[in-house]
Structure 1
Amino acid sequence: MKRLCRFWLALILALTLAVCLSACKKPEVPTEGTVGTTDPEPLEPPEPPEPPLPISPLTGLPMEEGGSPVVVTIDNNPRARMQSGLARADIVYEVLAEGGITRFLALYHSQSPAVIGPIRSARPYFALLAKEWGAIFGHCGGDTAGLNLIRELGVLNINEFSHGDLYWRDSRRVAPHNLYTSVELLRQFVDTPLPDPEPRYEFQDWSEDPVFGLRISYPFFGLQYVVEYHKAEEGYTRHVTDTSGTYMQQDLDTEEVILTSNVVVQWAPHKTIDSEGRLSIDLIGEGKAMYLLGGRLFEGTWKKPSADEPTLFYNQEGALIKLTPGQTWIQIVPSGTEVTELKGPAT
């Protein structure tokens, strides 16, 4: 009996010792290539950052498109309002035509609206402006002096009379105030894109201490513009009063209010040259200028030495003006045109 008890006691002690030794044993570390080893997942290389968009030489803003510069003559007869595509132009000139009605010359480079117009005829001063931008010039006919100057200056022009396939008529309006085109249609006219416009100005933020705006009154024509600055949108709207009434300029198709960052007033000699009321506007030389830049008012001068050189705008110290990034509207007015600064807080 005692032998049996010793046997069981020895067995229990042996088992206890075995368990303790097993618990104290170091775990085996798997070596490379043994079962249970997992290789780390390969890391995907990070995507390269998007390259920055190029900066428009005309607006100072990033641009996604670009292409051959295009200018078009746009109608401003009361029957042509509202216009299409003006809100997306980089630069808009407004110049008097005969009969006390203005026309626009819209310059496109960084944007390409699908509808622009109504398109009207060329005048010599439009040909001169198209030449200095090296742009494709879209128009519908023109007076004799305008067509002659286009040929003399070698302006690359697309006249609807000879290239009707690049224009169309809109049945919502009555001719001649219903002719339209698009920037891309006119660009198809050239096999090789034209060079980008040369940068003329630097850009900076002028938004501190804004003034209210300007009132521009054309003598003898019953035209008046109120250019009003909106601080929240950092731009100017244009309220126009003429013989047809008062309206604010906006786009026909998008109903987008035209909001421009810079307003330039350029005084130049105007002279009536025939019984039709056609005008000669002297844009070669120099004269007085006024600038609304991001809410601030400056005075200065403009200079254009010859037909082959650009029009440049200077401040009173003789330095080139610096524009606010965005659209620029250039109002070419007769010498003696009254321009009044509007006092009051910017809205």
Structure 2
Amino acid sequence: MFTKKFLFIIIAILLLAGCSTKDKTEDKQDDETVMKNTDASSEVFPLTGTSTKEDNARRAVAVMINNHPQARPQSGLSEADIVYELLAEGDITRLLAVFQSETPDQIGPVRSARDYYIELAKGLDCLYVCHGNSPEAKTMLDKGYIDNLNGLYYDGTLFQRTSDRKAPHNSYTSFDSIEKGAEEKGYDMTGAPEPFTFLTEEEEKALQGEPVSKIEVIYGGSSSNVQYEYEKTEEKYTRYSDGEQTVENQSEKPVLLDNIFIIEAAHQVVDNKGRRKIELKSGGKGYLLQKGKINEVDWVNKDERIIPVKNGKEVGFVTGKTWVNIIPDEPGLDKNVSFSQEN
């Protein structure tokens, strides 16, 4: 009798221990599943598609970068997630560099605002940073169309002049200064932009298109003409302005890109200084270069953002950094863009 009772107690203890171990194992598996799901949804930068263990929820910042020959090489471009390049005055382009995954110590030279750059920044819910403005841009900024920091009011404080270049090619800022200015003005710096669509690894490997290793984008004057070269070993594109490679001013680190998106849009000169109005709503033709291949696409304005589409379906970007060249639709892509393949 005693033996039977003893055996019963032992069996009960073993069963309880087994259930406890099973519960702990299941709880651990559930926790791991939650962690994996959380990692998949939250630890990706929205404008590059790259995974990270850092803060990916901060607000994007869009900075107007001077691209006059006397402003090159610039600072911070290698750390921008996306750069939009458009004509400002005459044949000189200006750059809108969007930062979200990286926060450079020095950015610039910073240049004045234009209305169409502001529209692009607004589409990504950016804090917009400039130094000066056109009359149309001033109206938008004064009315609070977008949160902004303007160097006209912070020259010598949040914006610093360097002695190695002459104004207006020597105004610089930093992410520390931008965050300080945002705090002073009460701007919320949380809230990442909506993510772009990115290709999976399998889709990247299966990319189709015509092989192209060299591309030139013509803006009119040779000083603003852009060349790209595809580096097979890096699987990235290097960029050149008028034949000179785009690098960081101090470190000479090259700007390396994963997507080159070239689109045409209607341009109209609106004053005697050569300022323009650029139509970024109606859509049009474009080229998308990825992994050494080129494809003809269309572009649409979706929720104030420029998106590549083909046969009515959104086209994904390769994970990494993107440069968008917006050129006049006259004479058009066939005249303003040329490409070749090295043997």
Shorter-chain TM-score: which interval? 0.7 to 0.9
Alignment of 1:283-294 (within 5 A): 283-294=280-291
Paired position in structure 2 for 1:91: 82
Does residue 58 in structure 1 map to residue 47 in structure 2? yes
- Gaps in structure 2 of 5+ consecutive residues: 1-30
1:138 is the counterpart of 2:132? no
Q: What's the offset of the Cα at 1:152?
A: 4.7
CA distance 1:343–1:129, change in 2 (3 Å): same
Alignment partner of 1:78 out of 69, 77, 80:
69
SS of the residue aligned with 1:99? Answer: coil
Q: If the length of structure 2 is used for normalisation, what is the TM-score? A: 0.79
Q: Which moved more, 1:247-256 or 1:204-213?
A: 204-213
How do residues 6-25 of structure 1 correspond to structure 2 at under 5 angstroms? Answer: none
Would you say 1:300 and 2:294 are equivalent positions?
no
**Separation in 1, partners of 2:200, 2:296:** 17
Q: Which has the higher helix share?
A: 2
Does structure 1 retain, via aligned residues, the 8 Å contact 2:91–2:219? no
Q: Helix, strand or coil: the match of 1:218? A: coil
Between stretches 253-262 and 222-231, larger displacement belongs to: 222-231
Distance in 2 separating the partners of 1:266 and 1:313: 9
The range that moved more, 206-215 or 189-198, is 206-215
Matches within 5 A, 1:122-271: 122-152=113-143, 154-164=145-155, 165-188=157-180, 189-190=182-183, 191=186, 192-205=188-201, 206=204, 210-219=211-220, 223-241=224-242, 246-271=243-268
In the alignment, the residues of structure 1 paired with residue 249 and residue 131 of structure 2 have an alpha-carbon distance, to the nearest angstrom, of 20
In structure 1, the gaps of 5 or more residues are 1-47
Give the aligned CA root-mean-square deviation in angstroms: 2.3
> Aligned residue for 1:32?
none
Out of 294, 311, 332, the residue aligned to residue 306 of structure 2 is 311
What TM-score, normalized to structure 1?
0.78
Instruction: Give 3-state SS (helix, strand or coil) of 2:165's partner.
Output: coil
Answer yes or no: is the 8 Å Cα contact 1:270–1:282 preserved in 2.
yes
- Looking at structure 1, the residues matched to 223 and 153 of structure 2 have their Cα atoms a distance apart, in angstroms, of 36
Q: Which has the larger radius of gyration?
A: 1
**Retained in 2: the 8 A contact 1:87–1:258?**
yes
Deviation of 1:220 (Å): 6.0
Q: State the distance in 2 between where 1:310 and 1:58 align.
A: 12
Question: Does the Cα contact within 8 Å between 2:78 and 2:256 map onto a contact in 1?
Answer: yes
**How far does residue 61 in structure 1 lie from its aligned partner after superposition?**
0.8
SS at structure 2 position matched to 1:146: helix
Q: State the number of aligned residues.
A: 291
Cα deviation for residue 279 of structure 1 reads 1.0
Q: CA deviation at 1:313?
A: 1.6
Distance 1:275 1:342, change over 3 A: same
**Quick one: percent identity of the two aligned structures?**
33
Task: Give 1:39-58 correspondences, 5 Å limit.
Answer: 54-58=43-47
State the shift of 1:239 in Å.
2.3
